[in-house]
Amino acid sequence: MKLLEYEAKQLFSEEGIRVPKGILVGKHEEILLHMDAIPAKVAVKAQVDVGGRGKAGGVLMADRDTVIETARKLFNTTIKGLPVQRILIEERLEIRHEYYVSITIDRTKKQPVILFAETGGIDIEETAKTDKKAIRSISFCPLLADVPGFLLRELCGDAPVEIQATVNRLYHVFCHKDALLAEINPLVTTPAGVYAADAKLIIDDNSLARQGIVLNRDLTEREREAEKHGFSYVELQGNIGVIGNGAGLTMATLDLIEYYGGRAADFLDVGGGADSERVMHAVRLVSGVPTVKVIVVNLLGGITRCDEVARGIIASGVPEPVIVRIAGTNAEEGRKLLAEKGYEMLDTMDLVVKKAVEVAS
């Protein structure tokens, strides 16, 4: 997940990297409430998830008298097609020099790699193309808690020592936040010291839970419920409820529904090794979607046992017809249980989907 500049700056600052004082606003009128804290000269920065904001008009300079009007204009523009919903108003830095630093993972070496250029700023991509030597890089053992001093000196060359310290702090952010990318461009020197004038941080999606980051900030009630049970769940617009195990099988079921002219109401992958209780919750969840007329359960028993699946379906007691295809581990037993309760079962995916489309229409 890519964080916005103000979010990244917050995390950078927690690791001791100096960032400009800033105020985040969602409307230009809000600035009035903060006038006391607005310095004489400011940078007005659109918080949008695109690179090259500056060149696209997303970073404007203003002073105390013009800041509200500047923000109003910026709120009324789009930056590379994205609406501006938040603006960061920062004390304007008196930039002496702009450096570039970026930390990522070299997948071939299986090591962190740090890139550094003595000429950072908005033209870094051009610089990288025209002058191959402009960007230096180092990589080292990921077990080290700090970037080794000799490598920092090699990397940063003639840049001030404080720049080296900042690169090391950025490495701490990179490690502690499970980042895939941590970048400061430009990293600047000013009469007041070294600052991260910009900030970019991409966090590995696999570690969002550990980092306590909630990805979908506005989930529906049902999506929240699905998350609680650990289902991969997406709500769609159709009337055929879908429950599968494994993303591939579930996607294939959706494709087949489309193929036969139906519309799926959801994507729900119960995951591996689902027991009867999980299956019951899944069926009830899908049954709760108001548009659902029929539910297709397409499960392949591996570690998942089909008799458990059958018990879950029966326990759910939902009013909609549930059409089942189960195959694999304990399929016989599962089928027997379902047959006793009068559930419709078909042998192939093709047949269950065809049937469901028929019922739904």
Query: Where does this chain touch ligand GDP (CB under 6 A) — which range of 90-98, 108-116, 153-161, 236-244?
Result: 90-98
54 makes contact with ligand GDP (CB under 6 A): yes
82 makes contact with ligand GDP (CB under 6 A): no
- Residue 100 annotated among the catalytic residues of the structure: yes
Angle at CA of residue 359, ends 354 and 361, nearest 5°: 95
Per-residue binding letters, 186-225, with Mn ion (x by CB under 5 A): ------------x---------------------------
CB of 122 to Mn ion, least distance (A): 7
Contacted by 95, from ligand GDP, Mn ion, none: CB < 5 to 8 Å by type: ligand GDP
- Residue 162 annotated among the catalytic residues of the structure: no
185 makes contact with Mn ion (CB under 5 A): yes
22 makes contact with ligand GDP (CB under 6 A): no
Query: Where does this chain touch ligand GDP (CB under 6 A) — which range of 87-95, 147-155, 268-276, 344-352?
Result: 87-95
122 makes contact with ligand GDP (CB under 6 A): yes
Query: What contacts 206, CB < 8 A, 6 or more positions away?
Result: 178
Among 9, 28, 53, 335, binds ligand GDP (CB under 6 A): 53
Phi and psi, residue 161, nearest 5°: -60, -35
Give, to the nearest 10 degrees, the angle between helix 161-176 and helix 149-156: 120
Task: Report helix, strand or coil for 299.
Answer: strand
Q: Yes or no: say if 163 and 169 are a contact pair by the CB < 8 Å rule.
A: no
Alpha carbon 279 to its chain centroid, in Å, reads 28
CB of 160 to ligand GDP, least distance (A): 18
CB of 71 to Mn ion, least distance (A): 19
98 makes contact with Mn ion (CB under 5 A): no
The one catalytic residue among 5, 98, 183, 320:
183
d(CA 327, CA 329): 7
d(CA 314, CA 294): 15
Residues shown for the chain: 361
Helical H runs in the chain? 5-14, 67-75, 124-130, 149-156, 161-176, 221-229, 247-259, 276-287, 306-316, 331-340, 349-360
186 makes contact with ligand GDP (CB under 6 A): yes
Q: How far is CA 77 from CA 84, 85, 89, 219, 289, in A?
A: 7, 10, 16, 28, 38
52 makes contact with ligand GDP (CB under 6 A): yes
135 makes contact with ligand GDP (CB under 6 A): no
For residue 280, give the nearest of 325, 310, 323, 246 by alpha carbon.
310
Q: Yes or no: say if 68 and 35 are a contact pair by the CB < 8 Å rule.
A: no
Contacted by 172, from ligand GDP, Mn ion, none: CB < 5 to 8 Å by type: none
Exposure on the CB side of residue 181, measured as CA atoms within 13 A: 14
* 10 vs 139, beta carbon nearer ligand GDP: 10
Contacted by 52, from Mn ion, ligand GDP, none: CB < 5 to 8 Å by type: ligand GDP
Q: What is the DSSP string of 328-361?
A: ETTHHHHHHHHHHTT-EE-SSHHHHHHHHHHHH-
- Under DSSP, the state recorded for 264 is B
The one catalytic residue among 100, 171, 195, 233:
100
* 77 vs 287, beta carbon nearer ligand GDP: 77
321 makes contact with ligand GDP (CB under 6 A): no
CB of 182 to ligand GDP, least distance (A): 15
Count the residues of the shown chain that bind ligand GDP, applying the rule CB under 6 A. Answer: 18
Q: By CB under 6 A, name the binding residues for ligand GDP.
A: 20, 43, 45, 52-54, 59, 90, 92-93, 95, 98, 121-122, 185-186, 197-198
- Residues at the contact surface with Mn ion, assessed by CB under 5 A: 185, 198
Catalytic residue list = 100, 183
